[in-house]
Amino acid sequence: MAANRRRPPTVEGPKPRKPRKGDKQGPADESDKKTELRKRGLILCIIALPVLVGFYATLLWWSNPHTDGRELRIDQYITLLRQGRIQSATILESDNRIAGRYDRGAYWVAVAAGRETIFSRLTSALEDAGVAYKVKQQPLKNLIVPASLILPALIVVDGLFILFLLFGRGGMGDAFAFGKSKARRLATGESKITFADVAGVDEAIEELAEVRDYLGSPDKFLAMGAAVPKGILLTGPPGCGKTLLARALAGESNVPFFSMSGSDFVEIFVGVGAARIRDFFQVAKEAAPCICFIDELDAVGRGRTAMAVGGQDEREATLNQLLVEMDGFESGSGVVVLAATNRPDILDTALLRPGRFDRRVGVERPDVRGREAILKIHSRGKPMAPDVDLTAVAKRTVGFTGADLANVVNEGALLAARRGSPQVEGRQLFEAIERVVAGPEKRSRILSPQDRHRIAYHEAGHAIASTSLPGADKVGKLSIVARGHAGGFTWLVPEGDQAAVTRSQLIDRIAAMLGGRASEEIVTGEASSGAQADLEHAGTLARRMVSDFGMSEKLGPYIVKPLSPGYQGEWGVGYSERISSMVDSEVQTILSEAYERCKSALTLNRALLDRVAQTLMEVEALEGDALDELMLAVQSLPDLVGAGPSSASSNSSQAGN
């Protein structure tokens, strides 16, 4: 007999608590609940549809009178009454019939509804014939008219419910829920882009990495009494990687990430934009800690005006709601708003104050090291030739954004595939740069000898003027093969990135732009329409010198700017007509000064101008050693020293490049 052994007590973990009615449900549970309710509603609607149709068909059948016997006309019936052949009669009130029996069996007579005269005549005939008759009431048939109106409406509504539940974005509730935000939630790990896939914006990555670290381990920040910024605004020119940084932050962070465009908040219906803002932030608060990304913030955050009408008033109501929501976050809520725009100058000042967007991160055009790093990222997975020098490509792409560099690498790969090359070579990348800047070559365009002669001197004028002027960029390639809308192509390569540009350098760059027109005038005695693009660029740069950089001798250190950026039509331009006239006069003075300096340089190198033009007409393109050998004979003009203010603001580097 086995001894009784006491079983050791089992250690059980805490039993899972059943969800209570007041418990807060997560987004997944709420989504599953909505899906289940939607399925149940769809099943009920599908079951109800044939029931309603069958009931309506039964009603239509029952509403028609069903009387046995032979149908008699009214005149036949009156004749039979006079002959005494009618035995009985019953008046059916709702069917508008008289039924009964006569010597040959059952009969019925149809009487038009609402004809009291006919009923009076027939009842009088029955009384005269001595036939007893009675009136049969039909109370249930009085419900036919309202039921015949209600049932078709119910059938149509049920059919619409089925369509919305089957094909609607979220059923009937979402079909009319204009106030629901269209935010897209990225699941953890859905974004495959990380900070390792972003280059050229190291400072911006450092700022965003701080947000990632705070959301991952907030204890060390809270221990110091520090709080993460509630809002981070990414600003910079288009194509520099603002949206890419947001996608990288989504890939780096292990928290929910909501993304939405600023234009998604804009709606023609009054109050819809504000409702979407409320819904967007309500969802974000429920999923905290999380990151909310609003792309193109200027679509909803444009500055407010004193006179707002129509759609402007609705947009301002949306902005006001955004201001309220961003200022309503509690400390440590874990909701971070990330926004991007390339128009920070038109944003409302209340949106940029501390407490809403505490930090502004500039994402500017990359420098030479940044461009090289970006080229390395975009060349991953592409068969690059061993002799490809990405450093040389980076030096030739001054002023390019990250999107431009991605396009260069892609164009190089397309050229290699088109020409059957197994690898992407350096010459294909350099040609891709030219395609991005000026467009593809048009070798099929046949030029007349006169046009060929004029274009050759035009491009040679650019090259001679740019080389002889100390402040201009150096020429990298000349071509008289048409590209894009231009008849020829002169590629000027800056020596490097510049933080500021002097007035003398800008004058020389304008002179280099006018070198083609000046060369045509010197050689042929008149200008042509081929210099239209050069004149536009030169005029734009000259106006910026006067209006933005304060490089005018008459106006002095005076910047001509509107009173309120983005609202010139309402508030005025901010300066008088006298100042406007002086600006135009100073622009013409700068253009005239640059044009005379360009003509002096071409006159000094007239013999070399002819030689370069003749060589171009023979070989169609000049670059590399052949071009450098010709340019060695250029005689340079002295530098313009003391011609104006010593330097411009940092923004002028973009204009010069």
Q: Assign residue 289 the CATH number of its domain.
A: 3.40.50.300
**Residue 596, pLDDT score:** 93
Query: What letter would DSSP give residue 345?
Result: G
Burial class (CB in 10 A: 0-12, 13-18, 19+), 69: middle
What percent of the chain stands above pLDDT 90?
12
**pLDDT of 514 over the 90 cut:** yes
pLDDT number for residue 21: 44
DSSP label at 283? H
Distance CA 318, CA 527 (A): 54
Choosing from 345, 362, 379, the residue where a domain stops is 362
313: number of Cβ within 10 Å: 14
Domain check: are 434 and 455 in the same one? no
- What average pLDDT does range 557-563 have in this prediction? 77
In a domain, 500, yes or no: yes
Q: For residues 528-549, give the mean pLDDT.
A: 90
**Measured on CA atoms in the order 432, 434, 436, 441, is the torsion positive or negative?**
negative
Given a cut of 70, whether residue 27 has pLDDT beyond it is: no
In a domain, 48, yes or no: no
Strand order of the β-sheet with 105-110 is 70-71, 105-110, 97-102, 89-92, 133-136
Residues 433 and 469 in one domain: no
At residue 537 the predicted structure's pLDDT band, cuts being 50, 70 and 90, is very high
Looking at residue 263, what is its pLDDT? 77
Name the most confidently modeled range: 194-203, 399-408, 583-592.
583-592
pLDDT at 114: 57
Residue 654 has pLDDT above 60, yes or no: no
Which residue is catalytic, options 267, 459, 520, 521?
Answer: 459
Q: What is the pLDDT of residue 543?
A: 93
Domain containing residue 429: 368-438
CATH of the domain at 506: 1.20.58.760
DSSP H helices in 514-552? 515-524, 532-547
| pLDDT grade for 31, boundaries at 50, 70 and 90 | low
End-to-end Cα separation, the chain, in angstroms: 101
pLDDT at 328: 59
Q: Are residues 546 and 493 in the same domain?
A: yes
Domain boundary among 334, 362, 390: 362
Percent of the residues in the chain that have a pLDDT greater than 70, as a whole number? 79
> pTM value?
0.65
Residue 160: inside a domain:
no
Query: In angstroms, rounded to a whole number, what is the distance separating the alpha carbons of residues 13 and 16?
Result: 9
CATH number at residue 104: 3.30.720.210
Q: What share of the chain is helix, strand, coil (3-state, %, to 5)?
A: 50, 10, 35
Say if 525 falls within a structural domain. yes
599 domain-assigned? yes
Based on the domain organization, do 576 and 432 belong to the same domain?
no
Considering the domain architecture, whether residues 330 and 410 belong to the same structural domain is answered as no
Amino acid 435: pLDDT? 84
The residue-averaged pLDDT of 24-50 equals: 72
Note whether 204 and 126 are same-domain residues: no
Can you give the CATH number for the domain in which 433 is found?
1.10.8.60
Residue 280 lies in a domain: yes
Question: Between helices 624-631 and 449-468, what is the axis angle to 10°?
Answer: 70
Residues 294 and 399 in one domain: no
Categorize the per-residue pLDDT at 53 as very low, low, confident or very high, splitting at 50, 70 and 90.
confident
Number of other CB atoms surrounding residue 167 within 10 Å: 9
DSSP state of 491: E
pLDDT band with cut points at 50, 70 and 90 for residue 657: very low
In terms of domains, do 542 and 563 share one? Answer: yes
Q: Is the pLDDT confidence value at 13 over 70?
A: no
pLDDT of residue 599: 92
Residue 55 has pLDDT above 60, yes or no: yes
Based on the structure, what is the number of domains in the chain? Answer: 4
* For residues 277-289, average pLDDT: 81
pLDDT at 193 (0 to 100): 80
Lowest mean pLDDT among 140-144, 432-436, 591-595: 140-144
Q: DSSP letter string over 212-279?
A: HHHHH-THHHHHTT----SEEEEE-STTSSHHHHHHHHHHH-SS-EEEEEGGGG--SSTTHHHHHHHH
Question: Quick check: is 150 in a domain?
Answer: no
Residues 368-373, mean pLDDT to the nearest whole number? 89
Q: Are residues 409 and 320 in the same domain?
A: no
459 is catalytic: yes
Quick one: 315 and 382 in the same domain? no
Which residue among 362, 382, 401 closes a domain?
Answer: 362
Confidence bin at 277 (pLDDT 50/70/90): confident
The average confidence (pLDDT) of the chain is 78
Tell whether 250 and 326 lie within a shared domain: yes
* pLDDT of the residue at 246: 86
Tell me, yes or no, whether 501 and 601 share the same domain. yes
Predicted confidence band at 190 (pLDDT cuts at 50, 70, 90)? low
163 assigned to some structural domain: no
* Statement: residue 465 has pLDDT above 80: yes
